[in-house]
């Protein structure tokens, strides 16, 4: 059993409802009796998306998970499909739901299909801020500083995040 950090984003339709639906699905795979940490929801500008893409709502949750990294990846991708995500040919196209694995315990993993910890956590305010809200002292494998310090030292051209909801 390991703690899994998972980022959620939505920039189509009722974004808050989509995040809530994903959270409901992911709570079902959490180890019973173990805490589920859920960050506030932030509105963020689209990054690396096609022009005119709508703003995202983003949050992060952390659960205990008893399976492998690939089992978790399979579950999260199936959840995306169940909630209406379609995978087109356009990279980073607007989407109903986006679920990204950030980490699974202290696992360092790269098999081409999955990289853990997520290779761009330390570059993304839209991930760092909600993660720092629930795990400010977390030090991920391969990073020398706690998440909150990485966020404090982040240099990016991202627009400031806007708090949407304390709890999704």
In the chain, domain spans: 2-165
Residue 63 has pLDDT above 80, yes or no: yes
Q: Is the peptide bond before 117 cis (omega within 30 degrees of 0)?
A: yes
The CA distance from 99 to 25, in Å, is 11
Residue 51, number of CB atoms within 10 A of its CB: 5
Lowest mean pLDDT among 42-56, 89-103, 147-161: 89-103
Please state, rounded to an integer, the average pLDDT across all residues of the chain: 92
Give the position of tokens 């030292």. Answer: 153
How large is the average pLDDT for residues 68-82?
94
How sure is the predictor about 105, in pLDDT bands with cuts at 50, 70 and 90? very high
CA-nearest of 12, 16, 140, 6 to 69 is: 6
Tell me the CATH architecture of domain 2-165. Answer: 2-Layer Sandwich (3.30)
CA-nearest of 136, 137, 63 to 103 is: 63
Residue 88 has pLDDT above 70, yes or no: no
- Residues with a catalytic annotation lie at 85, 95, 98, 100
pLDDT of residue 139: 95
- pTM equals 0.94
Inter-residue contact 59 to 8 (CB < 8 Å) = yes
Question: In degrees rounded to 5, what are phi and psi of residue 72?
Answer: -65, -40
Helices (DSSP H) in the chain: which residue ranges? 15-29, 69-82, 125-134, 147-152
């Amino acid at each position: 059993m390991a703690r899994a950090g998972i980022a959620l984003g939505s920039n189509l339709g009722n974004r808050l409802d989509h995040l809530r639906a994903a959270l409901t699905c992911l709570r079902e795979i959490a180890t019973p009796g173990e805490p589920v940490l859920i960050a506030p929801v932030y509105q963020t500008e689209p990054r690396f998306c096609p022009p005119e893409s709508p703003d995202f709502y983003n949050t992060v949750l952390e659960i205990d998970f008893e399976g492998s990294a690939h089992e978790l990846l399979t579950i999260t991708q199936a959840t995306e499909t169940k909630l209406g995500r379609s995978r087109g040919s356009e990279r980073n196209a607007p989407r109903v739901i986006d679920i990204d694995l950030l980490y699974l315990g202290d696992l360092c993993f790269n098999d081409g299909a999955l990289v853990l910890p997520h290779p761009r956590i330390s570059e993304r305010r839209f991930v760092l801020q909600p993660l720092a809200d629930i795990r400010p002292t977390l030090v991920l494998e391969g990073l020398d500083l706690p998440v909150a310090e990485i966020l404090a030292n982040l240099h990016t051209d991202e627009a400031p995040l806007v708090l949407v909801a304390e709890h999704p």
